[in-house]
Structure 1
Amino acid sequence: MSSTASLKDKAAKGLFWGGLSNSVQQLLGAVFGLITARILNAEDYGLIGMLAIFNGIVTILQESGFTSALANRQEIKHEDYNAVFWFSTLTSVVAYVVLFFCAPLIAFFYRKPDLIPLSRILFLGFVFGGMGVSLNAYLYKTLKAKERGISDIVAMIISGTLGVILALNGFAAIGLAIQTVTYVGVSVFFRFYYSSWRPTFHFNFSPLSEMFGFSSKLILTNFIFQVNNNMLSVIMGRFYNANQLGFYTQGQKWMGMANQVVNGMISYIAQPVFVEATDNKERQRYIFRKMVRFGAFFALPAMAGLALIAKEFIWIFLGEKWMPSIPYLQLLCIWGGGSYLCILYTSLLMAHGKSAAYLWGTVLTGVVQLLFIWSVYPLGTYCMVIGFVAVSCLSLLYWHKVAGQLILLSIWQVLKDIAPYLAITGTSVLIAWFVTLFTTDRYISFFVKFFLYVGSYLLIAKFLDSTILKESLSFIKNRRI
């Protein structure tokens, strides 16, 4: 088998297992999430949301950009993985100890004493997560998407079941924290099971210095990225209240779950595939454009469809108490439709070792978002979210400028690849919206919108002889897993 065919087969299998894993996870997450949301209230989710920024920052410190640094290496030795394992494990333990004693300060900032025991339980996930960095890097580098997928699915089943049991027994936010820690622990355990690499008690950190020039920029980049993503939660939690943050968190959660199906598929394989094709710019451009079309085919209709049925979905499945989440969900779906492009652009930058460009793009986006949000936060939480979404969408222009030039890709080529699926999505939305315009029964409206929208999209795509649709169906039919 030629290297081109081999890479194509690996990419196809990676996309399949990435898609299957993320689809099953999101389905399971939806089931467990619907049950717990019916039991718990907005304040419970708001308390967890207040701690999200600490989870994000510690995850960056323990990973330190080494997953991408290892993925970029053509040859990796045991010492490389081993050094990363012990560094990330020790960093995680230190971070947990520091935050354990800082818990009263966090509670004081938010004026929520309940955050002291809650944070000390939730942050236990750092210790397990640190142990899994090298294992995840190994499976990522070797394109073991199937094994990573199985690990995450089993972890979701076990942690989700436990979360529901705890919620039914009155554990509220504490139950959500235990569920999160369990997910991380089980996921790492199965990554260890599926990985043929094992850590050894040989403490040699010299390989880290070889990767630090690349990874150091990623540490700062990912730190700023996490601050950007969680600044809304911090500001809402500090200047508004836990209930308002809980409504935002719930909208963010459901958008993220739907969005992760596509983004997870792409992030599972993008950088390793780009790395294997770095010797051929034309081939890399072909792969990139193929992924743009693939992402547009799935992401645009998924996000537009979720926004279309948001009102009925929240009312039917979560209950009337969560109706204030609807505007947040619909606004975030706008960015969700294009966020996969950000993953593609940044993965391409990483494959070319352009961590500095990644850093400056993230800094620029973060500064503009922070300035905008701070300027409008007195006007209300909806204005803050609008600003966040607008700046995120505009940031794609920067990412295209710095990444597109690496493979001589014009913005018109990207728009040409996206336009057909955008047109099909828009047409399908109009059909479903118009047919249900005067429907007052929310159950009827939900099911008619859903099936009419999905049916219209697939029929139009088939009528227009969509290549992505044909290839997806063909691969599923003849998959070799």
Structure 2
Amino acid sequence: MTEQSLKDKTAKGLFWGGLSNGMQQLLNLIFGIALARILDAEDYGMIGMLSIFSLIASTLQESGFTAALANKKNISHEDYNAVFWFSLFTSGLLYILLFFLSPYIAEFYHTPALIPLARYTFLGFFIASLGIAHNAYLFRNLKVKQKAFIQLTGLILSNITGVTLALCGMAYWGIATQGLVYVTSNTILFWRYSGWKPTLHISFKPLKSMINFSCKILITNIFSNINNNMLTVILGRFYSQEEVGYFNQANKWTSMGYSTILGTINGIAQPVLRNVSEDTERQCRVFRKMLRFTAFISFPALFGLSLIAPELITITITDKWNESAIIMQILCIGSAFLPIQNLYSNLVISKGKSDIFMWNTIFLGIIQIATALLCYPYGIRTMIFAYISINISWLFVWHYFIWKEIHLTLWDALKDVVPFGVIAVSCMGAAYFLTRSIDNLYLILTAKIAIAAGLYIIIMQLSKSATFKEVINYLSKKK
């Protein structure tokens, strides 16, 4: 693929990925406000307690084959077919297992009502297994536009369902049904837009060529899901359902911010980096450009979300969720670095080094889990702060492996990232101090956004940021 062709595909992928994820988070915001006004913290706490089990099951059924299919040089129908049937059989066995384990899950949390809820919620990962191979096909072929339509359609249908059921008094059952509608609609549309269909000639032989790579991705993803959801498990075990609900609400709002960026980058990072993996110098240039773009949008977006969290939470879902706002501010600061860490891991995967990805994630997870267990007696805020501090510090470990793969020095990486972080922090700090005397919640929210965004754009222009200029030029052409 030529330099210009790769550049065009990357730009289009980023545009459609950004548009899709931006629209998704806007829909999540609108419907999330409606649900949070209807439901209580306990309802979110019930669903939150089960999330780690669904995620681990989903990871097992996928088994890292999406990344393996994207990373494979030559691919055939048999490869996709093998992944389809493997995912289906695995998910069926996992659902049966979790169905009978539901009473023990409920006993662990001291909440008997979780038994029927778990059996109902876990249907989601079984339905999703029907679309894993189709999703991999769209991902490998950079069908970002099609995936954008699919995900937006699923969000609209599922959120309408969730709000309707909440208004009918279904409480946490409404949230569970919302999730099922989302995966069902996505799966149906994956089949429609991928154009690929499975056949009854079942053979798992093609998996042999992918298993060495995919099993390491699988183990990594399991640890990632455990790591990302361990706080909810610890909270559910040692704190009340209400406190779990506060954390889940804060985490949900924070994820709206970083998921937009992660989704945009994930849609193109691995396939693009894989295309240039045999030319280290070129891959380094492409990676640094992605790194600057990620820092350019991640720092102002997440630091800005932390800045306006108190006003945003109170205005949108009322002051009954004020405790969530404080937790959200801490989470946003840590989440600003997640897209950068994610980009690092994508490069490692594109080089075929799934073992590095695996062990790095495992060690990080073990340290974070141990820290959370040690800190829980000191309160939720202390535990979360320690948790994200370790995550940020681990970026230096990730960079060591990036340096070994593409010879990118720490100094060059810091030059790419730090200026955007410093400018974003300065803009947020200025907005905070300039609005301290304002009492009206709506006015202070508007003023914080206007001042922070205005200052960031002005500084980008005055500093003649190449990344800022490229973004503006591309958006102007699209317009």
Q: What TM-score results when the alignment is normalised by the length of structure 2?
A: 0.98
The alpha carbon displacement at 1:214 in A equals 0.8
Q: Equivalences for 1:166-185 in 2 at 5 Å?
A: 166-185=165-184
Alignment partner, residue 242 of structure 2: 243
**Cα distance, 1:302 vs structure 2:** 0.5
Instruction: After TM superposition, give the deviation of residue 301 of structure 1 in Å.
Output: 0.2
3-state DSSP class of the match of 1:68? helix
Question: Quick check: 1:318 aligned with 2:343?
Answer: no
Task: Please give the alpha-carbon distance, in whole angstroms, between the structure 1 residues aligned to 2:127 and 2:467.
Answer: 39
> Do residues 203 (structure 1) and 184 (structure 2) align?
no
Whether 1:333 aligns to 2:332 is yes
Match of 1:34 in 2: 33
Mapped pair 1:25 → 2:24: yes
Is the 1:428–1:456 Cα contact (8 Å) retained in structure 2?
yes
Counterpart check, 1:463 vs 2:462: yes
Alignment partner of 1:390 is 2:389: yes
Could you give the per-residue CA deviations for residues 65-118 of structure 1, whole angstroms, max 9, x where no partner exists? 101111111110000000000101111121112111211111111011111121
**1:368 counterpart residue number:** 367
After superposition, the C-alpha distances for 1:392-426 in whole angstroms (9 at most, x for unaligned) are 11111111111222000011111101122123212
Deviation at 1:359? 1.1
Structure 2 counterparts to residues 136-175 of structure 1, below 5 A: 136-175=135-174
Cα displacement (A) at 1:154: 0.5
CA contact (8 A) 1:93 1:126 kept: no
Which residue of structure 2 lines up, in the alignment, with residue 83 of structure 1?
82
The Cα of 1:473 is off from its aligned counterpart by 2.0
Equivalent residues, number: 479
Query: Match of 1:388, as an amino acid?
Result: Y
Q: Which moved more, 1:417-426 or 1:330-339?
A: 417-426
Q: Secondary structure at the match of 2:268?
A: helix
Listed as ranges, the matches of 1:407-422 within 5 Å are 407-422=406-421
SS of the aligned residue for 1:432 comes to helix
Tell me the CA shift for residue 320 of structure 1. 0.7
- Alignment-derived partner of residue 424 in structure 1: 423
In structure 2, what is the Cα distance between the partners aligned to 1:433 and 1:380? 27
Residue deviations 1:449-473 (CA, integer Å, cap 9, x gap): 1111112211221222222222112
Q: What residue is the counterpart of 2:272 in the other structure?
A: 273
Specify the alignment match of 2:251 in structure 1. 252
SS across alignment from 1:478: helix
Deviations 1:414-452 (A, max 9, x none): 110112212321221122112111222222111111111
- Distance between the aligned counterparts of 2:461 and 2:282, measured in 1? 27
Give the aligned partner of residue 307 of structure 1: 306
Out of 462-471 and 216-225, give the one that drifted further: 462-471
**Which amino acid letter does the alignment assign opposite residue 455 of structure 1?**
G
Provide the C-alpha distance between the structure 1 equivalents of 2:73 and 2:474, rounded to a whole number of angstroms. 29
What does residue 45 of structure 2 align with? 46
Q: Distance in 2 between matches of 1:298 and 1:377?
A: 33
Q: Does 1:64 align with 2:25?
A: no
- Alpha-carbon distance between aligned partners in 2 of 1:479 and 1:131, rounded to the nearest angstrom: 35
Give the residue type in structure 2 aligned to 1:412. W
Structure 2: runs of 5+ lacking an equivalent: none
Letter in 2 for 1:188: T
Matched letter for residue 3 of structure 2:
T
SS at match of 1:143: coil
**Match of 2:33, as an amino acid?**
L
For residues 475 and 90 of structure 1, the distance between their equivalents in structure 2, rounded to whole angstroms, comes to 45
- The CA deviation at 1:278 is 1.1
Instruction: Kindly provide the amino acid, as one letter, of the partner of residue 63 in structure 1.
Output: E
Residue number in structure 1 paired with 2:113: 114
Matches of 1:133 and 1:432, distance apart in 2: 44
Partner of 2:11: 12
Deviations 1:184-210 (A, max 9, x none): 111111111110211111100001111
Q: Distance in 2 between matches of 1:42 and 1:448?
A: 30
- CA root-mean-square deviation: 1.1
**Letter of the aligned partner of 2:51 in structure 1?**
A
The amino acid across from 1:426 in the alignment is: V
Is 2:101 the counterpart of 1:102?
yes
Choose 325-334 or 470-479, whichever is displaced more. Answer: 470-479
Runs of 4+ with deviation above 4 angstroms: none
Distance between the aligned counterparts of 1:397 and 1:468, measured in 2? 23
SS at match of 1:405: helix
Deviates more, 1:458-467 or 1:441-450: 458-467
Residue 374 of structure 2 aligns with an amino acid whose one-letter code is S
Q: How many angstroms apart in 1 are the aligned matches of 2:217 and 2:418? A: 32
For the pair 1:215 / 2:208, whether they are aligned, the reply is no
Amino acid at match of 2:188: F
Q: Give the whole-Å Cα distance in 2 for the aligned partners of 1:220 and 1:258.
A: 27
Give 1:121 shift.
1.5
The Cα shift of 1:18 comes to 0.7
The alignment status of 1:129 with 2:111, answered yes or no, reads: no
**Where does the alignment leave 5 or more consecutive residues of structure 1 unmatched?**
none
Equivalent position SS for 1:438: coil
Query: Could you tell me the TM-score, scaled by structure 1's length?
Result: 0.98
For the residues of structure 1 that align with 2:418 and 2:372, how far apart are their CA atoms? Answer: 31
- 1:217 CA displacement: 1.2
Q: Secondary structure at the match of 1:170?
A: coil
Quick one: distance in 2 between partners of 1:355 and 1:266?
A: 19
Q: Counterpart of 1:354?
A: 353
Query: How many Å apart are 1:299 and its aligned residue?
Result: 0.5
What CA distance in whole angstroms lies between the structure 2 residues aligned with 1:464 and 1:376?
42
Amino acid at match of 2:173: I
Alignment partner of 1:51: what SS? helix
Percent identity of the aligned residues? 43
Q: Secondary structure at the match of 1:406?
A: helix
Amino acid at match of 2:196: W
Partner of 2:186: 187
Cα separation, 1, equivalents of 2:56 and 2:273 = 27
